[in-house]
A and B are shown apart, each in its own frame.
Chain A
Amino acid sequence: MLSRVVFSAAAAAAPCLKNAALLGPGILQATRIFHTGRPSLAPVPPLPEHGGKVRLGLIPEEFFQFLYPKTGVTGPYVLGTGLILYFLSKEIYVITAETFSAISTIGLLIYVVKKYGASIGEFADKLNEQKIAQLEEVKQASIKQIQDAIDMEKSQQALVHKRHYLFDVQRNNIAMALELTYRERLHRVYKEVKNRLDYHISVQNMMSLKSKSRQ
């Protein structure tokens, strides 16, 4: 839809582009038949593990399999050699200065690819692995953090259940102190009463002794 807007804006700006603007949406709708892939972007289908197999770096393996029933193993190579010799002998491909620069450039590229190709591939794999390892580390750290929080919460809950022991001990202490004070006072009362009664008894004894000695 955005391209329709772009086309109409361009038509407004330059009248000579108006024909293109009229044709534009038509071409857009016509090319929709080529959109054969999946239209949705997520979930993205997984990448294949290895690319397609090739021989000589250029020619897919399927071509060799295609020619195998008719010409055997050497078929494609003979075809290639024949084509090259045909182009050279009929001078469809002319050997010029550019041939030598082609030989040197392509030779250099093949040398570099053969020598450093595997190590560059491993480097790319290492980059991806580092990215995954970093994200995995973050995931593990947050899992650990949440697990620690859960454990602490559980221990706090257990502590809450055991809190009544504290209050029982305090209650027992206070009850003992009250009992102690009560018995102390009881004993004092008993002592005071005994004191008073002893006084009365000793006063009585003295009175009786005095009356006895006067007779």
Chain B
Amino acid sequence: MNENLFASFTTPTMMGLPIVILIILFPSILFPSPNRLINNRLISIQQWLIQLTSKQMLSIHNYKGQTWALMLMSLILFIGSTNLLGLLPHSFTPTTQLSMNLGMAIPLWAGTVITGFRHKTKASLAHFLPQGTPLLLIPMLVIIETISLFIQPMALAVRLTANITAGHLLIHLIGGATLVLMDISTATASITFTILILLTILEFAVALIQAYVFTLLVSLYLHDNT
């Protein structure tokens, strides 16, 4: 346990040049744009998936909320593809950096809140007080609701960071355990390897689920405010 467990999370540099921008831009190459009526299989499947997701996610919004469609769909595509690419060996996942997730969460959350306060000021302020509270509890409840409102962007960012980072760390640790156990007892090593395979399956699911959860929550905040 002498190695630095967080070595894989440092900003990647190549000969002293930070290439993290290239790594963030890379997933966009994997989504080619459809330019004919009948495309190849990759584009057809991506088109079908995007149609499915967008229909399901934008069905709850009114007209004003549906103007956010492009933003929400590119958000889920970016987070999903970045998380999935991070599961490949020796790769860097940008969404493990809290700075990047804060950079995504705070502007989006602030956008929804400011939209709500600009266009429906009374309704947005009314969100601070749930219906049917007893008269004595009102001051405390307003304070609690304000705190819960301001914690929303922090929770969005930290949730994504913590989930992906924890997953990567677990894979690293259990891989290390398998490596060490190979010399001691092969049977235990094979059990640990099975655990590693199960964990990898979980991580694939978590990668997609976290993208979905992030986008869903932003869309819920939007729904409250349009």
Residues of chain A whose beta carbon lies under 8 Å from any beta carbon of chain B: 41, 44, 47, 95-102, 104-108, 120-121, 123-125, 127-128, 131-132
B200 CB within 8 Å of chain A: yes
A interface, by DSSP: helix, strand, loop or mixed? helix
* A99-B45 contact in complex given A104-B200, A131-B38, C-beta closer than 8 Å: no
Docked CA distance A199–B196 (Å): 141
B173 → chain A, closest Cβ, in Å?
A: 7
Docked CA distance A131–B178 (Å): 49
16 A-B residue pairs with Cβ-Cβ distance under 8 Å, sorted by A, are: A44-B35, A47-B36, A95-B179, A96-B175, A96-B176, A97-B175, A98-B90, A99-B89, A100-B174, A104-B196, A105-B88, A105-B89, A120-B45, A128-B39, A128-B44, A131-B37
B207 → chain A, closest Cβ, in Å?
A: 12
* Cβ–Cβ contact B48 & A127, under 8 A: yes
Measured CB to CB, the nearest residue on chain A to B180 is A97
Measured CB to CB, the nearest residue on chain B to A111 is B197
B172 CB within 8 Å of chain A: yes
* A108-B41 contact in complex given A95-B179, A97-B179, A102-B89, C-beta closer than 8 Å: no
B201 CB within 8 Å of chain A: yes
B113 CB within 8 Å of chain A: no
B interface, by DSSP: helix, strand, loop or mixed? helix
Which of these, A44, A101, A127, contacts B175 with CB under 8 Å? Answer: A101
B213 CB within 8 Å of chain A: no
B87 CB within 8 Å of chain A: yes
Docked CA distance A159–B74 (Å): 63
Docked CA distance A96–B175 (Å): 8
Docked CA distance A128–B43 (Å): 11
Docked CA distance A183–B204 (Å): 108
Residues of B within 8 A of A127 (CB): 44-45, 48
Residues of chain B whose beta carbon lies under 8 Å from any beta carbon of chain A: 8, 35-42, 44-45, 48, 87-90, 171-179, 193, 196-197, 200-201, 204
* Cβ–Cβ contact A99 & B175, under 8 A: yes
B191 → chain A, closest Cβ, in Å?
A: 13
Residues of A within 8 A of B39 (CB): 47, 128
Measured CB to CB, the nearest residue on chain B to A96 is B179
* Cβ–Cβ contact A98 & B172, under 8 A: yes
Docked CA distance A160–B115 (Å): 68
Q: Which of A100, A127, A132 has the most CB of B within 10 A?
A: A100
Measured CB to CB, the nearest residue on chain A to B189 is A100
Q: Which of A102, A107, A125, A127 has the most CB of B within 10 A?
A: A127
Which of these, A97, A107, A123, contacts B45 with CB under 8 Å? Answer: A123
* Cβ–Cβ contact A47 & B175, under 8 A: no
* Cβ–Cβ contact B38 & A132, under 8 A: yes
* Cβ–Cβ contact B201 & A108, under 8 A: yes
* Cβ–Cβ contact A97 & B88, under 8 A: no
* Cβ–Cβ contact B87 & A97, under 8 A: no
Measured CB to CB, the nearest residue on chain A to B195 is A104
* Cβ–Cβ contact B175 & A125, under 8 A: no
Docked CA distance A52–B35 (Å): 21
Measured CB to CB, the nearest residue on chain B to A129 is B38
* Cβ–Cβ contact B90 & A121, under 8 A: no
Residues of B within 8 A of A98 (CB): 8, 89-90, 172, 175
* Cβ–Cβ contact A97 & B90, under 8 A: no
* Cβ–Cβ contact A105 & B41, under 8 A: no
Measured CB to CB, the nearest residue on chain B to A132 is B38
Docked CA distance A90–B178 (Å): 22
Docked CA distance A93–B76 (Å): 35
For the complex with contacts A44-B35, A131-B37, 9 further pairs of A-B residues with Cβ separation under 8 Å are: A47-B39, A97-B175, A97-B179, A100-B178, A100-B193, A101-B171, A127-B44, A131-B38, A132-B38
